[in-house]
Amino acid sequence: MKHEIQLTINGDNYTLAIDPRRTLNQVLREELNLTGTKLGCGSGDCGACTVIMEGRSVSSCLTLAVEADGKEIMTVEGLALSGEKLHPIQEAFIEKGAIQCGFCTPGMELSAYHLLSKKPHPSENEIREGLSGNLCRCTGYNKIVEAIAVSAEKMNRKPSKRKKR
């Protein structure tokens, strides 16, 4: 028996009839074709499936889609403000070489977004703690930590004001 849910994902509203046993990850990837959210371990240990739901970082592989009914969700597809300009987090990941195979990158970027929305000027230890739910098998984390530190600088940089003459 299908259950109707309403989701707001990356600012877009969706009404779906789904099997109540389906995870948010399955619905995002298979029903809505938002494939940036990966499925790694399927048990909430790797962070590849991280999304932001109602301002909280959650594992979409452990969250039933019916639990997300009526909630606002951001996936990696919603991180950039437009399809043409990357978010400062995405820019910094590229600049610092913090993406290798790229599988963990969407979850890492959303965990970084969540951290920086709570702590705009995190220390290195706070960055590492903020990533504690995300696994990467390629980079060794140093480049990812550097990228998040650069992201914080970019996001906190105030636009320069020109002097009027």
Tens-digit pLDDT profile for residues 12-26: 999 999 999 999 999
Superfamily assignment of 88-156 in CATH? [2Fe-2S]-binding domain (1.10.150.120)
Do the bridges between strand 72-74 and strand 3-9 make them parallel or antiparallel, or are there none, so unpaired?
A: parallel
**Chain centre distance of CA 136:** 15
Structure tokens at 157: 């940089």
Q: What is the pLDDT of residue 84?
A: 79
| Residue 162 reports pLDDT greater than 50 | no
Alpha-carbon distance of 107 to 133, in angstroms, equals 9
Q: Please state the rounded mean pLDDT for residues 50-56.
A: 97
Q: What is the pLDDT of residue 158?
A: 61
Instruction: Give the mean pLDDT of the chain.
Output: 93
Q: What is the pLDDT of residue 10?
A: 96
Q: Please state the rounded mean pLDDT for residues 117-136.
A: 96
**Chain centre distance of CA 142:** 19
Among 92, 91, 103, 88, which Cα is nearest to 139's?
Answer: 103
Q: Please state the rounded mean pLDDT for residues 70-77.
A: 97
CATH of domain 3-78: 3.10.20.30
81 confidence band (pLDDT: 50, 70, 90): confident
% of the chain with per-residue pLDDT over 90: 85
Q: What is the pLDDT of residue 127?
A: 98
Residue 31, Cβ neighbours under 10 Å: how many? 15
What's the pLDDT tens digit per position in 87-109?
Answer: 999 999 999 999 988 899 999 99
